[in-house]
Chains A and B, each alone.
Chain A
Amino acid sequence: MELQPKAKSVMSDDRIIELYWQRDERAIKETDVKYKSFLLSIAYNVLHDTHDGEECLNDTYISAWNSIPPARPTLLQAFLAAIMRRTAIDCYRTAKRQKRVTSELTVALSEVEAFISSDDDAYSEVDSKELGRIISDFVRSLSKRRMYIFMSRYYAVRPIKEIAGLLEVSEATVNKEIAAVKRELKERLEKEGYFL
């Protein structure tokens, strides 16, 4: 029988994944204990709404439950982050349609809007996958520090201030680095003949 306080202990990822594979509902509880605040921070940066964030969290747990098995993620945290981000972005899109969202994501997107094509006809699922591949290659080519800044800003959708705090540099420095990364990304996209 599980005691409530025991649930506060942190289980290894391997063990949590095994619980998923055993279809043991404790997997979700252990995931919650270990990654709840991390996942909520992703949702909050996208949505700026704690209530919506909690809903996304539940959806993320259900998605993880439905994905493992067959999935056996090597890094559970990254796996959950990807699900949470996708879920939060879906929620963001719904909220945006209802014109009720002002979040860090809105700001982050406005930063890159200038060099993203507005050619609606060209948009397709294949394109977004290809774009994902190009961005992945681009991020791999960056220095570790710039990789971190880019991913923090556009993947984890963190405010500049928070990134600066984590890297222990000024916000101006982060802004400068972001501007440089954006320039390089634009060049890369042009080189790939993707946009503009």
Chain B
Amino acid sequence: VKEDKFLDGISNIDADVVQDFVSMDNELKKKNNKSKAWIRLGAAAACIALIVGAVFIVPAMRDDAPEIPPDHTMLNNDTDNTLPSEDTTVSSDTDVTSQPEDTTVSEDTSDTLPPEDTTSPPAETTADRGEDTTAPPEDTTVNNEPDYVPNETYYLQWKDVGEYFGVKTNTSLPADLPYKEGFCEVKSEKYGSYEEGISNVPQDRIGNKIDNIVIRTGWRYSLTGEESDIYEVNADVYEIDGISPDIAVAVKYLKKPVGDNTEYYYMYLNPDCNADSIYDFLGMYNAEAYLKLGSRVYIFPNGESSNSYNYEVYDEAIDDIKNLILNLTSTACYNKYTEDNIKAIEKIASGYTQKLQISIILGNGGVMSVLDNGYVYFVNINEPFAIYEIGVDAAQNLFDAVKNNAKLLNDPNSFSEETVSVSKY
């Protein structure tokens, strides 16, 4: 019981204390990882220095060091130097990663060797290995395999710039960077260009069945176009209530694919159907008929890094706020993954102070965020991602409409479980 008391006491520690601890823990771990990386780098540098020392400096310091003849067979003349010359030839298909340390050191005495000798392995290792003529480190210079290191991280970070607005990344994708990209193709004449969205479509929004398609997924390598892990599955295509099939459709798999199931209706979107203004965007989803606002609204006073002020909007004010949204007009739109857009999005992300977040149902539900520097974006409603510039005044109107027509529920400076929210629609 003693223990139980203490355990329960500790378990009831306020969330803000836990939050502080977790934040500090993350910082420390990050810092430690960096230090460890430096230690590893230091160790690697020390090893290299040792090797360089052993190879270049030590022989030079040895007065009695024998003169190294140009013939590479003399490299290890105290061992077996009688091997036939063909055994020492390096094949081009050997493993470029096999670089035994001993061979590195032994052949490093070859600083005076002519270039052609770099294709030869040390005689002793060849003899020991029998028919398996493993290549020495130099064989990387004659290997015909492409230097190909797929890098999926780059690809994912690139995608994240647009998809996860507010997550800062300075990564852009170098044109010559080899990476592998997960692809998902729709084999269909009409819906061939459609891409899977993030959301599932609720059953009550499913309309008529309009097609049957094949979905093909796998990995594709950027440099060669080579594909791997290909998987194909049949699926039915349905209309979504309130959305034109030219914009989006619901897809139900007939056989369970990797990571998904046969129960849900997955939203597939036409990537070419970007709305270039917020008016078109709202029209595309028939917002006048379908837009619903949640009663809970969150204002982050210092960006996403802060806790939010949580408001409960009065029932009678919901329609007014909805009308404000429906009448928004935009002067600019960022809805394509172009370099200019990415830069603009990053600038927008770093240029706001307050963010207003409203849970809404539109298309498949989602969140509408308003930034006090005059921008609006929608998450989990459609893809590709888009940001609309509505102007500082229009953004301020939305902030005011919420603050003046809602009850404040919490103090963000003393976070507790009570700040969690339930939104009515």
Q: Could you tell me the distance between the alpha carbons of A99 and B257 in the complex, rounded to whole angstroms?
A: 45
Other-chain residue from A123, A135, A147 in contact with B10 (beta carbon distance below 8 A): A135
> Which A residues contact B (CB, under 8 angstroms)?
1-9, 11-12, 14-15, 18-19, 21-22, 24, 29, 69-75, 77-79, 81-82, 85-86, 89, 93, 109, 112-113, 116-118, 120, 123, 125, 127-129, 131-136, 139-140, 144, 147-148, 151-152, 154-156, 165-168
Which chain B residues in 186-234 approach chain A with CB under 8 Å?
A: 196, 198-200, 215, 217-219, 229, 233
The residue in chain B whose Cβ has the minimal distance to the Cβ of A89 is: B7
- List, in ascending order, chain B residues with CB within 8 A of A85's CB: 11
- List, in ascending order, chain A residues with CB within 8 A of B23's CB: 75
- List, in ascending order, chain A residues with CB within 8 A of B3's CB: 109, 113, 116
Most buried by A among B8, B260, B366, B421: B8
Q: Could you tell me the distance between the alpha carbons of A12 and B218 in the complex, rounded to whole angstroms?
A: 25
Per-residue CB contact flags for chain B residues 11-34 toward chain A (1 = under 8 Å, else 0) read 111110111111111101100100
In the complex, whether B391 has a CB less than 8 A from a CB of chain A is: no
Q: Could you tell me the distance between the alpha carbons of A11 and B184 in the complex, rounded to whole angstroms?
A: 20
- List, in ascending order, chain A residues with CB within 8 A of B25's CB: 148, 152, 156, 166
Other-chain residue from B17, B196, B219 in contact with A139 (beta carbon distance below 8 A): B17
In the complex, whether B134 has a CB less than 8 A from a CB of chain A is: no
Other-chain residue from A15, A109, A167 in contact with B164 (beta carbon distance below 8 A): A15
Whether A116 touches B6, Cβ cut-off 8 Å, given contacts A3-B217, A7-B259, is yes
A12 to B166, Cβ gap below 8 A? yes
Q: Could you tell me the distance between the alpha carbons of A85 and B13 in the complex, rounded to whole angstroms?
A: 12
Other-chain residue from A12, A72, A116 in contact with B420 (beta carbon distance below 8 A): A72
A136 to B14, Cβ gap below 8 A? yes
Contact-residue size bin, chain B (C-beta under 8 Å from the other chain)? 35 or more
B19 to A78, Cβ gap below 8 A? yes
Q: Could you tell me the distance between the alpha carbons of A77 and B25 in the complex, rounded to whole angstroms?
A: 11
A-B contact pairs, 19 of them (CB 8 A): A1-B260, A2-B259, A5-B182, A8-B152, A9-B160, A18-B379, A22-B199, A70-B420, A74-B19, A75-B22, A79-B15, A116-B3, A116-B5, A131-B9, A133-B14, A135-B9, A135-B10, A151-B21, A152-B25
Q: How far is the CB of A191 from chain B (nearest CB, A)?
A: 16
Most buried by A among B15, B359, B415: B15
A72 to B421, Cβ gap below 8 A? yes
- List, in ascending order, chain B residues with CB within 8 A of A168's CB: 32, 35
The residue in chain B whose Cβ has the minimal distance to the Cβ of A92 is: B7
Q: Could you tell me the distance between the alpha carbons of A134 and B167 in the complex, rounded to whole angstroms?
A: 37
- List, in ascending order, chain A residues with CB within 8 A of B366's CB: 18, 22
- List, in ascending order, chain A residues with CB within 8 A of B257's CB: 1
In the complex, whether B304 has a CB less than 8 A from a CB of chain A is: yes
Q: Could you tell me the distance between the alpha carbons of A144 and B215 in the complex, rounded to whole angstroms?
A: 53
